Structure 1
Amino acid sequence: MTNHPPPDPFWTFEHTAWERSARSYHNFWTRLTSQTIELLLATVQRGDPARLLDVATGAGNVAQAGVRKGMRVIGIDFSTAMLAQARKQCPEIDFCEGDAAALPFADNSFDAIVINFGLLHFDDPERALAEAYRVLCPGGWIGFTVWATPEAAIGFQIMLQAIEAHGDPNVPLPEGPSFFRFSDPAESERTLRTIGFTDPSITEVQQTWRLSSPDALFVAFYEGTARTGGLLRAQSRVALDNIREAVIKAICAYEKDGGVEIPMPAILTSAQKP
C-alpha cells in the first residue's frame, strides 16, 4: 500500500461531481459503457477464474459480470454514492472505498485488473497505472477502456462543437489530464511500457448509444458527467440554452425508430505484467 498526497483541485472536482452525478450517470450511461464489458473481461482473463480488481467500479457492472464468469472480484471506487449503488445492485460482491492512486492492497494481490472508462477521470493516471502494476501478480493482465476521439465518438463531437460555437469552453475549471490522452494508441503504449508492462494491445470497439429522444444527449452530459457536465453548468443561462438547442438540432440526424442511435466507440487497451 502506498500513501497518496492530499488531493489536488482536480481530484476534488471529480470526487464532488461523482457524488452529485452517480445516479444520473447510471441512468444515462450504463447501457453504453456496459457494451465493452465482455471484451474487457476476456482480455484480462487468461486461463482459470482469476482474482479480479475492478478499479473505478462505479455501480459494479464489470464486477458483477466478473463474478458471473467465476472470478473472485473486489471493486473499488472513491465515490460513496457510486458504491452505494454498487452494493445495492451486487450485495454479494466485496466493494471498498479507495483511491486508484493509492490502492489499499499488498503487492501481487490480483491476477487481473480492469478500469472501465475510469482512467480518464484520474488526477494522476500514471500513478494509478503504476499502482495497478504493483498489486498485479507477475503474468497478470490489465485492461482499460476510454472513449475514442470526438471524430469517432459522435456524442462528444456534437456536445463539444455546440459548446465551442455557443458557449465558453474556457470557463474556469480545475485543470486535469487531457481527456482524450489515452484515445491515442501510441500514448497508451508509451505510458504502459514506461511503467513496466509488456505486450500492449489496443483496439477500437464499436458501440452504439441508444437514447430515447434528441434532448436526452444534452441531459446525459449535463446531469451525468463530471468534466463536460461541469463545463455546461458553468455556462451562462443564455449560452446554455443555445448549446442545448444546437445539440438537439445536430442529433436529429441520428434519429431512428422513435429514438436516437449515436456511434460512440471505445478504445480497449490491455497489457501484461512480466
Structure 2
Amino acid sequence: MDFDAYERELWAGRASAYERGFARLTAYLVRPLLDAAGVADGTRTLDVGTGPGIVSAEAVRRGAKVSSIDADPGMAETARRNVPEADVRVAVLPDVPFPDGTFEAVAGNFVINHVADPGDVLGRLRRVLRPGGRLALSCWAMPGTGALGVVREALDRAEVPWPDDMPVQPFVEHGQPVPFRRLVAGAGFGHVAVKEVTWEHVVDPDEWWELGALARIGSNGVVVGRQDAATVARIKAAYDEVMAGYPRRDGGVALPAHALLAGGAA
C-alpha cells in the first residue's frame, strides 16, 4: 500500500476519537503556530490539515478570514460544525484547491508529517501564498517519544513485531531542526527559522489508551487493533508499566511532548 492510500485508511472514521484525544495534545502549538504565520485581524489564512478545526477556530477568534482543508471528510465535517465561519473543503494534499496568491498566511499543525512528498506539498503551499506571505508548520520531533511514543514503547516491551506491510513515514528523515529547515528552504521559502518546542501533556492513562490505541489512532493504534485479545491484554500491561515511569500531575500522568515549529516567507 502506498503512503497516501495508507493515510486515508488510517484516518477514516477517526474524527471523534481524535478530537477527544490527540487533538488536545496538538492544541498546545496552535497559538505559536499562528503567531509564526503572522495571523491577525483581517489576515487571509489557509489552515492545512484542519482536523477538528482548532487552528481555524483560533484564527477566526483573531479576526482572520479563514479557509481550511482536510483530506478526511469526517474531519472536515467536524471542522465545519466547530468553526462555521470558516470555508472548509475536503482536499488531499498535494492538491491545494485555490488560485495562486490567494492567502497572506498558511498554517499547518502536524500535517506535513502525514504526506507522501513533503517537498511537493511545500511547493504547492508556496503557490497559494502572496509574495511576502508567511508559512508556519509544526511537526513531531523524531524519533517520537513521551506522549507520542508510549504505545510504541508498550508494543516493543510486549515484543509485538511491526507489520511488514505498513509503509514507513516519508517525513521521518526531516524530523530534526536542521533537516526540517533545509526542507522548507528548499521549497523556495526565505527567512526560514525552526525552533524546538517542549511541553507536558497531562492525561488519564486509561483514557489515553482508549482514545489512542483502542481507537486505532495513528500507526501504533493500528498495530494494536490487529492483535488478538490476549496480545492486546499483554500490550496494555506493558503500557501500564510505561505509564508508571512518568510523574503524576494534576490527577493524571504528565507526558513530555517534543515538536518542531518552522516559519518562513514566500
- Normalising by structure 1, we get a TM-score of 0.89
CA distance in 2, matches of 1:178, 1:100: 14
C-alpha spacing 1:176/1:157, structure 2 compared with 1 (3 Å): closer
1:217 matched to 2:208? The reply is: yes
Question: How far is 1:257 from its partner?
Answer: 3.4
Amino acid at match of 1:44: A
1:189 matched to 2:181? The reply is: yes
Question: How far is 1:234 from its partner?
Answer: 2.6
Structure 2 partner of 1:240: 232
CA distance in 1, matches of 2:186, 2:260: 20
- Alpha carbons 1:124, 1:177 under 8 Å: kept: no
Structure 2 partner of 1:4: none
Match of 2:30 among 37, 55, 76: 37
CA distance in 2, matches of 1:157, 1:95: 31
1:175 matched to 2:167? The reply is: yes
Q: Which range moved further: 100-109 or 160-169?
A: 160-169
CA distance in 1, matches of 2:171, 2:225: 18
In the TM superposition, what are the counterparts of 1:60-71 in structure 2 within 5 Å? 60-71=53-64
- Normalising by structure 2, we get a TM-score of 0.91
- Alpha carbons 1:41, 1:66 under 8 Å: kept: yes
Deviation digits for residues 152-193 of structure 1 (CA, Å, limit 9, x no counterpart): x41234322221232434213341434543321111111112
CA distance in 1, matches of 2:198, 2:178: 20
CA distance in 1, matches of 2:169, 2:219: 11
Question: How far is 1:48 from its partner?
Answer: 6.1
Q: 2:142 aligns to what SS in structure 1?
A: coil
CA distance in 2, matches of 1:176, 1:192: 21
CA distance in 2, matches of 1:28, 1:205: 20
C-alpha spacing 1:225/1:204, structure 2 compared with 1 (3 Å): same
Question: How far is 1:42 from its partner?
Answer: 0.5
Structure 2 partner of 1:202: 194
1:252 matched to 2:236? The reply is: no
C-alpha spacing 1:53/1:224, structure 2 compared with 1 (3 Å): farther
| Aligned-residue RMSD, C-alpha | 2.0
Give unmatched runs, 5+ long, in structure 1.
1-7
Question: How far is 1:100 from its partner?
Answer: 2.0
1:74 matched to 2:55? The reply is: no
- Alpha carbons 1:25, 1:224 under 8 Å: kept: no
Deviation digits for residues 177-210 of structure 1 (CA, Å, limit 9, x no counterpart): 3454332111111111221111111112222222
Structure 2 partner of 1:5: none
Structure 2 partner of 1:135: 128
- Alpha carbons 1:154, 1:263 under 8 Å: kept: yes
Structure 2 partner of 1:90: 83
- Alpha carbons 2:216, 2:224 under 8 Å: kept: no
CA distance in 2, matches of 1:166, 1:21: 25
Deviation digits for residues 3-32 of structure 1 (CA, Å, limit 9, x no counterpart): xxxxx6321221122122111010112222
CA distance in 1, matches of 2:243, 2:7: 27
- Alpha carbons 1:204, 1:266 under 8 Å: kept: yes
Counting aligned pairs with the same residue, the percent is 28
Give unmatched runs, 5+ long, in structure 2.
none
C-alpha spacing 1:47/1:14, structure 2 compared with 1 (3 Å): closer
Instruction: Count the aligned residue pairs.
Output: 264
- Alpha carbons 2:174, 2:183 under 8 Å: kept: no
Q: Which range moved further: 164-173 or 128-137?
A: 164-173
Q: 2:21 aligns to what SS in structure 1?
A: helix
Amino acid at match of 2:196: E
Amino acid at match of 2:128: V
Question: How far is 1:39 from its partner?
Answer: 0.5
